[in-house]
Chains A and B, each alone.
Chain A
Amino acid sequence: MAQPMVLTAGRESRGYFGTVARRFMRHRLGMVSLCFLTVLVLLALFAPLLTPYEPNKLVGKFSEPPSLQHLLGTDQVGRDVLTRLLYATRISLLVGFAATGIATAVGVVLGLVSGYFGGWVDMIIMRFTDMVMSFPYILLVLVAAAIFKPGLWNIILILGFVDWPGVARLVRGNVLSLRETAFVKADIVAGMPTRHTLFSEILPNTIAPILVYATSVVAISILDEAALSFLGMGVQPPTASLGNMLNGAQSLTVLTSKPWLWAPPGVMIVLLVLSINFIGDALRDAVDSRNIR
């Protein structure tokens, strides 16, 4: 029974996403950013193959300026900075995407339930969302980081559970308008299970705005992880993260005379976040039906 329906849905969505992809490709800055981000992701993924050093092994004299052996020099204890930079990019990307995954999953489920069922369920979920949103963001993150011992997976969980309210609101708003459409009403009349209506009919139609929003969550998560790790409350050494590599720059000697220790991770964060933001911007333009030029 499900077979023909899946087929039509597939064809329709390919048509839609084909249009979006075509429009996305016309966005020059977005395309450049996408290519650039792909290169960064590949560099991070294949870090073990690209560098002869291990990120946490001492491989040279300490605080050596850049040379042919160590393209970005070595850090205060003699680890290769370029190697650590690649591994740290891995961590940042992992945090960004994993936290966004959690935030999106929580937000989508709560938003769908809240928008579709309405009534007191909606009331409770939305008031709770308001409360989480009213929290001073940085305070929540800092207190949460103090509760759970700082560490990679805890940071991911914290950021994931702090970022969901935006997604929930977005999804709820979309569900509210979709609930009034003919195809959803037809589903209800036909007596389809609620699960089917929610996840196979309503959800696919809200994917585009969720995707656009999610890109900004990825960017924010990467920035937050960096800030937390910079303050020493995020990813803990010896694991390299872009934030904790910058931590050393709080000392004046490092800041003044060893720029190779702090400039590369900082620039890397800016490049990562900037390219993700540009991709999000291009996506937003691409899914916006008014932007057909």
Chain B
Amino acid sequence: MMRYILKRVLIAIPVLIGITMLDYLIMSLAGSPLSMMTGPRVSQAALEARAVQLGLNQPWILQYFTWLGQLLQGNWGYSIRTYQPVLTMISANLGPTLLLMGTSMALGFVIAIPVGVYSATHQYAKGDYAAVTLSFLGTSIPSFFLALILVYVFTVRLGWLPSGGMVTLGGGGGDALDVARHMVMPTLVLTASLAGSNIRYIRSSMLEILRQDYLRTAKAKGIGRYLIINKHAMRNALLPIITVAGMELPMLIGGAVIVEQVFSWPGLGQLTMSAIMSRDYPVIMGVSLLSAVMVVVGNLVTDILYAVVDPTIQLK
């Protein structure tokens, strides 16, 4: 097991280098951060001096290796715009995003697993149609439009919930209840789409399992519907559920860009968005690296959990 994990981590390293290199290339194609600094009061000489200082006069591949070398020494670089260390900026924004996405993803599964299983075991019944239709609605509604509707209903019409931010500014804000009130709407928006796609995934993989021979056998033994579904089918349905969870893990980092934008949630999504707008290379690279790591970790955790859940899978 340990050897397997070690081997997978070693394989992941070139993949990570590949992803970040591609990131750097695409980013440098996007334009120089200096183009955001130009103005009537900035001289050409000053710009060139800044370019040399930031290393922007070098080819992108050299810049990339400089970045990589610094990273290996634990230096994530400094934001070109705010001069803050990238690591500080990311860790300041990471908490709110993890809170928001973590809650939404957990809710997504808590809703989707029972609904998906119900839907599969009652295929073509009224409840199944309702679940499938609702799950399609969840994935078909643009997050920003659902956000606008919620703000319209709960903030504008009813005045129950704040329209944005994470805490009430100025006096009285900041405790857990206040944060929870601010979280309701963004969480609802994210949960709608997550639960929607999870329900369909769990339903179809459960249907797949219910067709298997060993379930027919279980049925023939007459062990009862409850045991068939909850013991025989459910345990095997865990595999696809783990797959979805693994695939969704990177969304913990980058899944809420638009929702954070609409609700002014002070998370990584906002940081990413403003970094892209101002071509803030070090910040973009920091976020990209983080999400690339999440992708790799997601795949790794999926594979390991697979082996834990399904003893027939051999780790090589």
Contacts and interface: CB of A to CB of B under 8 A. Distances in A.
A226 B140 CA distance: 12
B142 A136 contact: no
Contact of B15 (A130, A250, A255): A130
A6 interface: no
Interface in B145-176: 145, 148-149, 151-152, 156
Contacts of B254: 136-139
Nearest to B284: A143
A255 B30 contact: no
Contact of B136 (A147, A249, A274): A274
Contact of A256 (B136, B139, B144, B156): B156
B276 A136 contact: no
A266 B262 CA distance: 15
Given A139-B287, A143-B30, A262 B148 contact: yes
A130 B26 CA distance: 17
A97 interface: no
A266 B30 contact: no
Interface string B261-293: 110000000001100110100001001100110
B250 interface: yes
A277 B276 contact: no
A256 B288 CA distance: 37
| Interface SS, B side | helix
Contacts of B291: 136, 139
A255 B151 contact: yes
Nearest to A284: B204
Given A135-B19, A255-B152, A142 B136 contact: no
B36 to A, nearest CB: 11
A142 B276 contact: yes
Contact of A134 (B27, B149, B295): B295
Nearest to B200: A281
A101 B200 CA distance: 25
A279 to B, nearest CB: 11
Size category of the binding interface on chain A: 35 or more
Contacts of A270: 137, 140-142, 145
Contact of A131 (B22, B129, B136, B262): B22
Nearest to A259: B152
Interface residues of B, number: 47
Contact of B279 (A146, A230, A231, A255): A146
B26 A255 contact: no
B30 A146 contact: yes
A93 interface: no
Nearest to B149: A266
Nearest to B152: A255
A223 interface: yes
Given A142-B273, A143-B26, A290 B295 contact: no
Given A143-B26, A219-B140, A136 B288 contact: yes
Given A246-B145, A270-B140, A134 B15 contact: yes
A227 B140 contact: no
B135 to A, nearest CB: 10
Interface string A114-146: 000000000000010011001111111011101
A274 B137 contact: yes
B231 interface: no
B139 A231 contact: no
Nearest to B279: A146
Contacts of B262: 250
B60 to A, nearest CB: 13
Contact of B139 (A249, A266, A269, A277): A277
A24 interface: no
B296 interface: yes
B19 A131 contact: yes
B27 A281 contact: no
B142 A134 contact: no
B69 interface: no
Contacts of B129: 29
Nearest to B256: A138
A197 B149 CA distance: 52
A32 to B, nearest CB: 12
A143 B142 contact: no
Interface in A230-244: 230-231, 243
Contact of B140 (A137, A138, A230, A277): A277
B139 A255 contact: no
Contacts of B288: 136, 139
A278 interface: yes
A248 to B, nearest CB: 11
A290 B211 CA distance: 10
B19 A138 contact: no
A230 B292 contact: no
B145 A266 contact: yes
Contacts of A231: 258, 261, 273
Nearest to B292: A134
15 contacts: A131-B15, A136-B288, A139-B272, A142-B273, A143-B26, A144-B26, A146-B279, A147-B30, A223-B142, A231-B258, A250-B262, A255-B156, A266-B148, A274-B136, A277-B140
Given A136-B254, A256-B152, 5 more contacts: A131-B18, A131-B22, A134-B15, A139-B284, A270-B137
- Interface pairs A-B: 5 shortest CB-CB: A136-B254, A266-B145, A273-B140, A274-B140, A136-B291
